[in-house]
Structure formats: C-alpha cells, structure tokens
Amino acid sequence: MKFFRYFFSLLILTLVLACSNTASRNNQRGNSVSLDTLQYEMKIIDRIYPMQFHKDKDTTIIKIAYPFFDSSSALGKNLNDTVRERIILGKEDEEGNIIHINYHTIEEFVDSLLHEYKLFLGDSPISIPWYNYSNVEVLNNTPSLLSLKSFIRIYLGGMHEDISVVFDNFDTKSGKRLTIDDIFKNKRDENLLKIGEFYFKETRKIAQDNKLTDLGIFSADWSASNPKGGFYFNDNFLIDKDYLIFYYNEYEISSYSFGTTELKISLAEIRPYLKDSFKYE
C-alpha cells in the first residue's frame, strides 16, 4: 500500500509540474495572444549593463514588457503608438525634465538609454546603477472597449525613483482614445464631485469634515489644469464592469510625500452622471 501511495503521489506531482512547465512556456517572449478585435504579441526586452567597479554585483537593468498589436488597422497602429509613447516618456534629462524624442521603436529607445549610461560611467567618479522597469498590459478587451495599463518604474540618478501608472481606454469601433468627458455628462457637476471627494477622503482615511486644499491636496496653485483648486476627476482612469477607477500619480495633486491614490467609484452609484452612450460590453 505504501508503494501505491508513493506511486500515486509521484504521478500527481509529475502532472502538476508538467502543467506548470506548459504554462511557463506559454508565457515566454513572443507569445501571441488573440483578442476579440485585434491580435497582439507580448514582447520582452531584458538588457543589463555591468557597473564599472562591481560587475559581479550591481548592474543597470532595463526590463520592458509590452503588447505589440497588429498594425494593419488604424486602431492597432494607434495602440502601438500609445504603448511606445508611454514607455519612452519614462526618460528624463539631467534636470529631471521629461524628454520628448520620437524614437521609431522601443528597442531604439533602450539602445539610447544604455548608451547614455555608458557616457555617464565615463564622466562619473562613482558607479550608480540605473534601472527602467516598464510593463504595459491589456486589461479590457470587449467588443467596444480596449484598455491598457502602463506601469513605469525608473531611476536615472537623483534623490529617488519615479513610479507612474497610466490607463488608456480606446473605443474599438471608432479607434478613439476616451477621456473622462466621453464618460461623464459633466465632470464638474457639483453633486458628482461631492461623491468623488467623499470616496477620495475615505480611501486616504481623511476625515470628511476636513478641507482637502487646507491639507495641501488639490490646491489651486498645484496644477495648471485645476486653477480653482478642489477635487477633480482626471483623465487617468480605467473602466471596469462595476467601477470607474481613477489613478493620481506622485506630484499630481500634492507633494511627493503624499504618494499615489487609486480611487474606485461604483458605476451603480454614479449612473445618473454617465452619458447615455456609456456602456461596458
């Protein structure tokens, strides 16, 4: 009986490992994924460059994963352009300003970044590792909606790393990238803003009787897009079947120390404020 129990356990373990290996192979670079409306292939760039004095320890690392869409359609080309823009905008100059360079491919951008690091090593008396971890994934794929999430984590010297999350939503029929004005009847509706502010405070554990601007959040002088100050809905949102999810990145609404905020609001609660054309299908 012990032999049969051992044999059965060994058989189960073998099957589990076989399934795991199959899943692993399916997730290797170049895996093609079929969508309802488009096809895309996941591409992975994995590059390292040894530090000058500690080649066996620290390295500059670039790991980028992103979907590459069938570009035979206008929508596919638009999606590829958006993905490239999200990843390349993770590059900064020495003063920390975002660099806008029209690289033709993400690979060209990576080559440029590594070249700059080599130049940095030649000019710097110390070796400081840089890194760029970028991941773009498809979150929604319905007959009418395709959504992307871009997660960018970079360090190119300076006081601290930069992390950002950006959502992009596309109407698959028109090919248009959706803004919050395409979702809400009026994003400045006072009652709608009260709902948003309520859940923002609840998410960040701020007492409801506190005024956000008095706490240095959503201040009038903080963002040019919010001249009057106070809570607002940004264009960095994700449409879910049950929620609208907004993401406020570092420095967007307050100081770096305030961090980021992911705000979820039930679609059922804000249904009266949504455009009649809005639907998730």
Q: Cα–Cα distance between 227 and 208 in angstroms, integer? A: 23
CA nearest to 237, candidates 205, 200, 264: 264
Same domain, 214 and 243: yes
CATH code for position 80: 3.30.565.40
Q: pTM for this one?
A: 0.80
Same domain, 167 and 141: yes
Tokens of 39: 């096809």
Same domain, 268 and 132: no
Q: For residue 165, which amino acid is it? A: V
Helix (H, G, I), strand (E, B) or coil at 17: helix
Same domain, 191 and 155: no
At 93 the pLDDT is 54
Q: Higher confidence at residue 57 or residue 237?
A: 237
Residue 212 belongs to some domain of the structure: yes
* Owner of token pair 């060994």: 10
Same domain, 232 and 99: no
Contact 237, 245 (CB under 8 A): yes
Residue 8 belongs to some domain of the structure: no
CATH code for position 252: 3.90.640.20
Residue 12 belongs to some domain of the structure: no
Residue 236 belongs to some domain of the structure: yes
- Domain boundary, last residue among 117, 143, 178: 178
pLDDT digits (tens, 9 = 90+) for 83-97: 999 998 755 555 555
Same domain, 49 and 148: yes
Tokens of 38: 């488009």
Contact 278, 270 (CB under 8 A): no
CA nearest to 92, candidates 84, 101, 102: 101
pLDDT digits (tens, 9 = 90+) for 123-173: 666 667 889 999 999 998 888 899 999 999 998 877 788 899 999 999 998
**b vs e for 118-130, b when ≥16 Cβ sit within 10 Å of the residue's Cβ?**
eebbeeeeebbbb
CA nearest to 67, candidates 150, 167, 169, 170: 150
Question: Would the pLDDT of 15 be above 60?
Answer: no
Mean pLDDT for the stretch of residues 199-220: 96
Mean pLDDT for the stretch of residues 214-233: 89
Question: Would the pLDDT of 7 be above 60?
Answer: no
Residue 57 belongs to some domain of the structure: yes
- Domain boundary, last residue among 152, 178, 204: 178
Same domain, 169 and 55: yes
Q: Cα–Cα distance between 74 and 175 in angstroms, integer? A: 7
Structural domain boundaries, residue 152: 30-178
Helix (H, G, I), strand (E, B) or coil at 7: helix
**Mean of pLDDT over the chain:** 82
φ, ψ at 182 (rounded to 5°): -80, -10
Q: Cα–Cα distance between 208 and 211 in angstroms, integer? A: 8
Identify each DSSP E strand in the chain by its residue range.
Answer: 32-34, 39-50, 59-69, 131-141, 145-155, 162-171, 237-239, 243-248, 261-266
φ, ψ at 138 (rounded to 5°): -90, 120
* Owner of token pair 């890194």: 131
Mean pLDDT for the stretch of residues 270-280: 90
Residue 238 belongs to some domain of the structure: yes
Contact 247, 262 (CB under 8 A): yes
Contact 74, 82 (CB under 8 A): no
Look at strands 237-239 and 131-141 and give their pairing.
unpaired
CA nearest to 203, candidates 214, 190, 217, 188: 217
Same domain, 131 and 231: no
